[in-house]
């Protein structure tokens, strides 16, 4: 497994999302069998799903995100709006696999249970499943005590490869709740701000670095996991995709 760690030097949120797409394209060709990338977001972000962009309230939701100090971007994977700050960890897992269009439910379950086991090791009452009123609802969210969401997961599948992306909220839940409430109000979607949780809310003292190290160890499962820089050709490919994730390009 190739291990890429850290935010990009020119860490524009749209470029981070574009890099995930470039990783899938690379894996599709079979040049690299498997890649794990972890990074701590450099700036607060609201990431909209493609479906959100077609709603009449989308421009107002974008304005609400910006007014709260969050950069709005659009992701390639499915789902609804999410928000995060530098008190979060984004995990992109990409693999070359024949017949990758199937198997998504098994991956949701397998990696969701991996996070549940990991968080229980921290002392969190972690469970797999959606909670009422959660942002970007999904049957395989990872939650605390059955009431507060901790991790959201999404997938992108192309012939020959898949991307499994996880957003782990380590802290700043109090900052996320109001911006998500306003974004969901603008979009006309149901949301309960009380459903937003974080690992540090459950176990004070947990931080992004410690959680990140544990996530890497869980994925590596005893294999070497030495980080390497993002290859220049991969970064250049991501720059060619970045406009597809910029809100201003979607709105134009």
For residue range 192-224, what is the model confidence (pLDDT) as tens digits?
Answer: 999 999 999 999 999 999 999 999 999 988 777
Tell me what the mean pLDDT of segment 167-179 comes to: 98
Q: What global pTM score does this model have?
A: 0.94
**pLDDT tens digits, one per residue of 33-69:** 899 999 999 999 999 999 999 999 999 999 999 999 9
54 CB-near residues (< 8 Å, 6+ apart): none
CATH class (in words) of the domain with range 2-251: alpha beta
How far apart are the C-alpha atoms of 116 and 133, rounded to whole Å? Answer: 20
What are the structural domain ranges in the chain?
A: 2-251
Work out the mean pLDDT of the chain and round it to a whole number: 93
Closest CA to 11 of 36, 35, 38, 43: 43
Q: What are phi and psi of 195, to 5 degrees?
A: -80, -10
**pLDDT tens digits, one per residue of 124-149:** 999 999 999 999 999 999 999 999 99
């Amino acid at each position: 497994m190739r291990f890429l760690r850290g935010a990009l030097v020119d860490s524009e949120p749209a470029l981070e999302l574009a890099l995930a797409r470039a990783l899938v394209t690379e894996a599709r060709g079979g040049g690299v069998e498997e890649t794990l990338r972890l990074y701590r977001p450099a700036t607060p972000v609201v990431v909209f799903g493609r479906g959100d962009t077609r709603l009449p309230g989308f421009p107002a939701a974008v304005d609400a995100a910006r007014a709260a100090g969050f950069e709005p971007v659009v992701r390639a994977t499915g789902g609804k709006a999410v928000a995060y700050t530098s008190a979060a960890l984004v995990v992109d897992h990409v693999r070359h696999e024949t017949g990758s269009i199937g198997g998504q439910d098994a991956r949701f379950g397998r990696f969701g249970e991996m996070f549940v086991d990991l968080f229980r090791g921290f002392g969190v009452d972690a469970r797999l499943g959606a909670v009422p009123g959660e942002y970007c609802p999904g049957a395989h969210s990872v939650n605390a005590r059955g009431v507060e969401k901790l991790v959201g997961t999404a997938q992108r599948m192309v012939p020959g490869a898949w991307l499994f992306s996880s957003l782990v909220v380590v802290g700043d839940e109090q900052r996320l709740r109001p911006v998500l409430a306003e974004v969901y109000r603008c979009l006309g979607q149901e949301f309960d701000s009380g459903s937003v949780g974080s690992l540090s809310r459950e176990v004070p003292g947990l931080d992004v670095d410690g959680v990140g190290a544990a996530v890497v160890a869980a994925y590596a499962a005893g294999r070497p996991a030495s980080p390497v820089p993002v290859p220049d050709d991969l970064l250049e490919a991501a720059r060619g995709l970045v406009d597809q994730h910029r809100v201003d390009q979607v709105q134009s």
